[in-house]
Amino acid sequence: MELERLTYLGVLLFIFVGSAWLEIALRTRVLRRWKRLLLALAIPFTLFVIWDIWAIATGHWSIDPDRTVGLKAFGIIPVEELIFFVVVPLASILSLEAVRSVRGWPLGDEAPVDSAGGDAR
């Protein structure tokens, strides 16, 4: 296989490696919380893949067959696109938790310590 066909896959690998190191260096603990991660990814993945399939089918955009490995789901969507809609949302969550790790700004999912302290006599 020509190296050119790994172009898209290579960029996806860069995105994954370029964000996954945050899990170790900044202790984002996103991959460790994989159940919550899968729940968070499920709906955006489904919606965006449906959009992508429709857009390719209607001719809104096309993906170069010479720069993808050639595996297609449903005979239309390159496997790289499916990986894209896992790797990019994962990178977004890693980025969000990385900022929280460094700055400590609240994001709205913190344990309700105040109300618990108030309720408990």
Partner 1 sequence: MTYTQIGIAVVIAAIVTDVFILRTRLVTRKGFWVSYAIVLFFQLLTNGVLTRLQVFRYSDDVIVGYQPDAAPPFIGSGRIAFQPFEDLLMGFALCLLTCAFWIYWGRRGVQRTPTAGPPIWRTWAAQRHARASAGSGGTASSGSVAAPGSPSTDPSGAGDGEATT
Binding residues for partner 1, rule: CB under 8 A, are 7-8, 11, 14-15, 18, 24-30, 32-33, 35-37, 39-44, 47-48, 51, 55, 59-64, 67-68, 85, 88-89, 91-93, 95-111
Cβ of residue 47: shortest distance to partner 1, in angstroms?
Answer: 8
Please, which residue, 54 or 74, has the CB nearer to partner 1? 54
Distance CA 14, CA 83 (A): 12
Please, which residue, 110 or 121, has the CB nearer to partner 1? 110
Q: Could you tell me the maximum CA-CA distance found in the chain, to the nearest angstrom?
A: 70
| Cα 31 off chain centre by | 11
Distance CA 77, CA 17 (A): 24
Instruction: Find where tokens 């898209």 sit.
Output: 8
Q: Which helix (H) or strand (E) holds 72?
A: strand 72-73
Cβ of residue 56: shortest distance to partner 1, in angstroms?
Answer: 11
Please, which residue, 35 or 121, has the CB nearer to partner 1? 35
The amino acid at residue 40 is A
Cβ of residue 121: shortest distance to partner 1, in angstroms?
Answer: 23
